[in-house]
Amino acid sequence: MSKIWTLFKREYRAAVRTKSFIISLILVPIMMGGGFAAMIIMENNKDTDDKHFVVIDHSGLMTDPLSKALDIRNKEEIIHSNTGEKTDATYVVEFLEPDFQDPEGQRLGLSQRVENQELHAFIEIGPDILHPAGEEKQAYLKYYSQHSFNDQIRYWFQNVVNNKLREFRAAELNLDEAQAEELLWWINVEGMGLVTVDKKTGEQQEAEKTNELQSFLVPYVLLILMFMLVMMSAIPQLSSVMEEKNEKIAEVLLGTITPFQFMMGKVLGGIGVSLTTAAIYVGAGVFTLKYMGMESLIPVEVLPWFFIFTVLFILMVGSGMAALGATCNDNKDAQSLTFPGILPAIIPMFLIAPVIADPTGPLATTMALIPPFTPTVMVMRMASSVTIPMWQPVVGLLGVILFTIFTVWIGARIFRTAILIQGQKPNLATLYKYAFKG
């Protein structure tokens, strides 16, 4: 054990003392945080230049309401109440009569004006929008722009037109304003957590509202962090072992330590590096969330599971990568073996959306109980706002422990045979031979 410890210390020091480690430690959160910061900056620094639109109103109903709404928006809504500064673009709308002779020509002409950037977009309001029943094709609201799918401005026109239509319809039914408001009242469903009992005090705890951040951001951040830690410590084992093999360091060390001790010292060194990184990031994350008064986002109960699963995941992938590294002779071999080695870390990245959308669904549950994917998928599920049955993380952990023991065992067998063999191309047949025949 003392030899593993000696090797662990060397690996750990060699990794954390490098400039690249320190730079990546600082750069990764800056880059990740930079993305969020850029979003916030973009949000706060909206384009306030005037935006020009053309509206062709086939119904003849919307010209006045739109003009009034535009007036209110441009004079009041986009002006900051305290500073008096514009916070958004002024919408300048030109109303055109429909060209019944050549409607296509009119659309083409307007499209060209959009392309020439004279206009931001043009909108066509169908003739039968007030009573669409039976006339669905004529009850349209079309927004023509270069990037209409991403253009959020279209929703402003949609809201104004639909609110006015509701008013018109209420008036036709002789409903007063209050009745109309009640008629159109929409109740949103609120996502709530469960009512719990405080284990210490025994008091019943009110259910809390769940939000998008809890449901998406927390599992997402934990998954990315685990992925990053594996990429940082387990994946480089392949090239590191290959280098030590080619530079004959392995033979020097194997005179003193067993191949198993060699492999474990290296993999545990990698785990040490990852845990250091994780402790810094998680610590900084907890501190920041507390500072911002968002303690509720800290997944306190999931963090121990996160650390346990991360350690096992790195042990599992790291020993596999070390074994594969021992079979490599050059960078070409290393490149061809890296991809299959990192699949357990990559595949869960494709499962983020379905797992977060339905953490207790059959896909998420099944994947969480397949050992190579358990660490990532189980932690994602546990960090979501849904409560998963307690037996699942326990069974998942047992599976991961057994699978990790198997990976380390088979990795050690491949490692001890391959580390001194030169010139043998690594492929499935040689790996099988090293693993089971020595």
Partner 1 sequence: MNIIELSGITKTFGSVAAVNDLSLEVPKGSIYGFIGPNGSGKTTTIRMIMKIMYPDRGKLLVDGQENNFERLKNVGYLPEDRGLYKKMKIGELLQFHGELNDGTDLPNRINYWLERLELKSYKDKKVETLSKGMKQKLQFIATILHQPELIILDEPFGGLDPVNADMMKDIILELQQKGATIIFSTHDMAMAERMCDYIFMIYKGKKVLDGTLEHIQDQYGNDTLRIQSELGAEALKDLKGIENVNNFGKLQEIRLEGGVDPQQILADLLKKTRISKFEITKPSLNDIFIRIASPERKEAGNE
- Distance (Å, whole) CA 104 – CA 110: 10
Residue 68 or 248 with smaller CB distance to partner 1: 248
Nearest-approach distance from CB 262 to partner 1, in angstroms: 10
248 phi/psi in degrees, rounded to 5: 70, 15
- Only one residue has tokens 């909206």, namely 46
Could you tell me which stretch among 104-112, 125-133, 168-176, 251-259 binds partner 1 (CB under 8 A)?
A: 251-259
44 is a site residue for partner 1 (CB under 8 A): no
- Distance (Å, whole) CA 373 – CA 365: 11
Residue 164 or 413 with smaller CB distance to partner 1: 413
CA angle 379, 222, 13 (to 5 degrees): 110
Nearest-approach distance from CB 272 to partner 1, in angstroms: 16
User: Token digits for 235?
Assistant: 């994946």
Spell out, one character per residue from 208 to 247, where the chain touches partner 1: x when CB under 8 A holds, - when not.
------------------------------------x--x
Nearest-approach distance from CB 11 to partner 1, in angstroms: 10
282 is a site residue for partner 1 (CB under 8 A): no
Region of 423 on the Ramachandran plot (φ > 0 left; ψ -120 to 50 alpha; else beta):
left
435 is a site residue for partner 1 (CB under 8 A): no
Helical (H) or strand (E) element with 124: strand 121-125
Q: Using CB under 8 A, which of 138, 210, 239, 258 touches partner 1?
A: 258
Nearest-approach distance from CB 260 to partner 1, in angstroms: 9
352 is a site residue for partner 1 (CB under 8 A): no
What is the total residue count of the chain?
438
- Per-position DSSP letters for 13-62, written without gaps between them: HHHHTSHHHHHHHHHHHHHHHHHHHHHHHHHHS---S-EEEEEEESSSSS
Residue 253 or 342 with smaller CB distance to partner 1: 253
Residue 178 or 429 with smaller CB distance to partner 1: 429
Residue 200 or 437 with smaller CB distance to partner 1: 437
- Distance (Å, whole) CA 337 – CA 411: 14
Helix axes 259-291, 218-233, angle to 10 degrees: 150
Residue 114 or 250 with smaller CB distance to partner 1: 250
> Residue 289 corresponds to which amino acid?
L
7 is a site residue for partner 1 (CB under 8 A): yes
Beta bridge partners of residue 94, listed in sequence order: 54
- Distance (Å, whole) CA 150 – CA 270: 43
- With beta carbons less than 8 A apart as the criterion, state whether 241 and 418 touch: no
Q: Using CB under 8 A, which of 97, 151, 251, 295 touches partner 1?
A: 251
Could you tell me which stretch among 1-9, 33-41, 281-289, 375-383 binds partner 1 (CB under 8 A)?
A: 1-9
Q: Using CB under 8 A, which of 232, 241, 253, 302 touches partner 1?
A: 253
Q: Using CB under 8 A, which of 46, 209, 248, 290 touches partner 1?
A: 248
- With beta carbons less than 8 A apart as the criterion, state whether 88 and 44 touch: no
108 is a site residue for partner 1 (CB under 8 A): no
Nearest-approach distance from CB 248 to partner 1, in angstroms: 3
Closest CA to 276 of 245, 243, 307: 307
Q: Which of residues 8-37 bind partner 1 (CB under 8 A)?
A: 10, 14
Q: To the nearest 10°, the Cα dihedral for 231, 305, 387, 199?
A: -150
Q: Which of residues 368-427 bind partner 1 (CB under 8 A)?
A: 420
Q: Contact positions toward partner 1, by CB under 8 A?
A: 2-3, 6-7, 10, 14, 244, 247-258, 420
